[in-house]
Amino acid sequence: MRKRILQISAAVSGIFTLWATAVGIIASNRLMYVKKKDEDLILERETSAKRYDEVWYANVNKEEHWIQSENGYKVHAIFLEPHDTKYYAVICHGVTETKVNSFKYARMFEELGFNSVVYDHRRHGDTGGKTTSFGHFEKMDLKVVVDVLKEHIGPELVFGIHGESMGAATTLLYAGMRDDAAFYISDCGYSDISEQIRHVMQTTTSMKTPLALKLAGVFMKLREGYHISTVTPRDAVKSINKPVLFIHSLPDDFVLPEMSIDMHRLKHGPKALKLFEKGGHAQSFNENPLEYKKTVRDFLKQHGILPPVETEYASALLFPAEKKEPEKEEKS
C-alpha cells in the first residue's frame, strides 16, 4: 500500500513538473518573442497619417550609425541633424514598433530647435538581438547610443530622452542607472513590468492565474539571466534628479494611467504630469498633437532647456497666438 502511494505521488509530481515546465516555457516565450507589428504596415500607417514625410527624410541632414551593443549585436541608429546645434533628443520607441514611429517626435523636437537620434530597440527594425526584455537589456543599448552621441558632439552636448511605452520604461530605467540627461519624457510608460504583464494576461489571455506569471519569471531567469521582477521603473524614478515629464492618456486601458500618476508621485525634485482626455495607449501625440507639443515646450522652457534657436521659430510655427503684435507708436 505504501509503495502504491509513493508511486502515485511520484506520478502526480511528475505530471505537475511537466505542466509547470510547459506553462513556464509557453508564458516566457510569449514575453521574450512578443509578436511584432509588420514593418511595412508601420511605415504605411505613419506615412498615410502624415506623421512621416518621405521628402523631409530624404532631404534632412542625417548620419547612419551601427553601434555595438554590450549584449552582442549592432544597434541601428540615425542621427537627424537639421540644426546647427548641440541640443539633441534621443527617442525610444515602444514594443512591437520601430524607429519609424519615432520620426513624429523627431519632427516635434526639430520644431523646438533640437536635433535628434532615432534607433531600433533590440529585436526590432534593423537592430539585432533575439529577444525582447521590456527595458532590462534595452536600457544598456540606450546607454551605448548615448555614449556614441557624446563622442559625436563632445562636452558641449545637451540632450534629453523621450520614450513611449516600453521606450518610456527604458528611459526611466536608464535614468535610474545613469542620470546624465538634461531631461526625460515618459509617455505612457509602465511602472512595473510584472504588474503590467499580469494586467495584460488577465484582460487579454486565458492565463489568468498568478502562477503563470511566476513560472514565466522563473523561466526567463533561467533562459535570459534576469528576473522580470527587476524591471521596475517605479523604483528607478526615486533616484532620478533631473526633470521628468510624465505623459499619459486617461482612456489608456493597456498601460493604465495610474502607473504614470504613481511614478510622478514617487519622483523627487523637478517633474510634471500631463493627462490627456483623448487617446488610447500610445496615442496622446496622435490625438492631441498641438497640445502635446505645447506641453513639451512649456516643460522645457520652465526648466531652461530650450535651444536658443527655438524662441522665434517654434513660437511662430506652433503657437502663433503667442506672437505679439508690435506696439503702435502713440501719436503726439
Q: Can you give the pLDDT at residue 313?
A: 57
- Rounded to whole angstroms, how far apart are CA atoms 115 and 25? 43
Helix (H) or strand (E) holding 301: helix 289-302
Q: How many CA atoms lie within 13 A of 241 on its CB side?
A: 3
DSSP letter string, 315-330: HHHH-GGGPPPPPPPP
Amino acid at the residue 36:
K
Tens-place pLDDT, residues 265-289: 999 999 999 999 999 999 999 999 9
Domains of the chain, start order? 1-32+193-227 (no CATH), 38-192+231-319 (3.40.50.1820)
Helix/strand/coil percent split, the chain, to 5: 50, 15, 35
The pTM for the full model equals 0.88
H helix intervals, 185-251: 193-204, 210-224, 233-236
Strands (E), 19-142: 62-68, 74-80, 87-92, 115-119
Tens-place pLDDT, residues 95-148: 999 999 999 999 999 999 999 999 999 999 999 999 999 999 999 999 999 999
Instruction: Sheet containing 271-276: give its strands across.
Output: 62-68, 74-80, 115-119, 87-92, 158-164, 183-187, 244-249, 271-276
Q: Could you tell me which residues come within 8 angstroms of residue 153 by beta carbon, excluding any fewer than 6 positions away?
A: 86, 88
Q: Which three cell numbers stand for residue 154?
A: 563632445
The length of the chain is: 332
pLDDT in tens, the chain (332 residues): 666 665 556 555 556 466 557 666 777 788 888 999 999 999 999 999 999 999 999 999 999 999 999 999 999 999 999 999 999 999 999 999 999 999 999 999 999 999 999 999 999 999 999 999 999 999 999 999 999 999 999 999 999 999 999 999 999 999 999 999 999 999 999 999 999 988 887 776 665 667 777 887 787 888 888 888 899 999 999 999 999 999 999 999 999 999 999 999 999 999 999 999 999 999 999 999 999 999 999 999 999 999 987 555 565 556 655 544 444 444 43
Q: Can you give the pLDDT at residue 237?
A: 98
Q: Could you tell me which residues come within 8 angstroms of residue 27 by beta carbon, excluding any fewer than 6 positions away?
A: 207, 212, 213, 215, 216, 219
